[in-house]
Copies of this chain bind each other. A is one copy, B any other.
């Protein structure tokens, strides 16, 4: 193993000089710099991560906590994770992959051991166990008063919005606006009865923020525009979708607009509508909230609001890095939704 001392010797300079060449924290003559860099190349030197972390109290590692469950949005999660990893690298950080399994303990462990300098949490629930640990020091105490050791003092960014964002930095698609946008689009086309096909019931039961906030947006915009709205959670697959669709059409036969927020329900819905002789978009319109790829590859090219996975991952890292650099405050970043009109939505048919 090549050490900094060996590089120093080889280049005929002191250890600190090598260190400073590496960090750029003080000016080095062109000559010296070149000799050192040459020695580094020649010897194939790589700074030891542990030693560096110990001496500098910085690991240059960001922890990313991904949900253990894979009952939804797996490709989105993956895309976010990859965006986080690549963005982190451009800032000189590596990414540690944690699963939600360990829960709050993982936060304590990673923060306590100095394994990571900061963390990014995905799949945040409205009331999340891990949040009390992560709130900034200026956040109001939890009811019950100060509990020592409750703070991990770990810079963090959430992907997703909890109920209470005080003292936290969050990045997310503005799902409330997304819901409103979908209803608005359909309403403008004349649809008066809209059905929302949502995530699996479990997603709502555990109070996943994005699902509930989308629903909020859908409902309030529907109220605003005088449109009737029916929401039904729906598991993935054909059988679940068949049941759900039947119920919806039974309860609201005049439904002409659908909003789908569930990747694995998209194709079943289209197939079932086709099977029932309802043409898209002539008879019914469908708007999806899903990754771009799903919208484009579906059997009918879907009018959709894309989930900007890459952007979320990138923003999360950039805000975290800003915090680690002492810049950066606690903010909530809501990415504005964009609705792309494709082939699945059109004017509502004339009323019977």
| Residues of A bordering B, CB below 8 Å | 1-2, 44-54, 59, 61, 64, 66, 68, 70, 74-75, 77-79, 81-82, 85-86, 89, 94-99, 101-102, 108-109, 112-115, 149, 236-238, 264, 267-268, 271, 293, 296-299
Contact = CB atoms under 8 A, between A and B. Distances in A.
A304 B114 CA distance: 46
A287 to B, nearest CB: 19
Given A75-B75, A96-B96, 4 more contacts: A61-B96, A77-B78, A85-B98, A237-B296
Contacts of A50: 49-54, 59, 114
B78 A99 contact: no
B102 A89 contact: yes
Contact of A299 (B53, B102, B271): B271
Contact of A70 (B49, B53, B75, B271): B75
A86 B113 contact: no
B97 A68 contact: no
A233 B236 CA distance: 27
Contacts of A46: 108-109, 112-113
A61 B59 CA distance: 13
B68 A86 contact: yes
B237 A97 contact: no
Given A113-B47, A271-B271, A82 B54 contact: no
A228 B98 CA distance: 48
6 contacts: A46-B113, A50-B114, A70-B75, A89-B99, A94-B115, A238-B299
Closest 10 A/B residue pairs (Cβ)? A46-B112, A50-B53, A237-B297, A50-B54, A97-B97, A49-B115, A49-B113, A95-B97, A46-B113, A74-B75
Nearest to A64: B97
Contacts of A79: 70
Contacts of A96: 61, 94-97
A298 B54 contact: no
A97 B68 CA distance: 16
Max chain B C-beta neighbours (<10 A), residue from A47, A50, A79, A99: A50
B238 A298 contact: yes
Nearest to A293: B236
A317 to B, nearest CB: 12
A54 to B, nearest CB: 4
Contacts of A78: 70, 74-75, 77-78
A98 B68 CA distance: 19
Contacts of A149: 44
Contacts of A296: 237
Contact of A113 (B48, B95, B108, B293): B48
A259 to B, nearest CB: 21
**Candidate in A108, A114, A264 with the most chain B CB atoms within 10 angstroms:** A114
Given A271-B271, A299-B238, A299-B271, A53 B49 contact: yes
Given A238-B299, A299-B268, A44 B101 contact: no
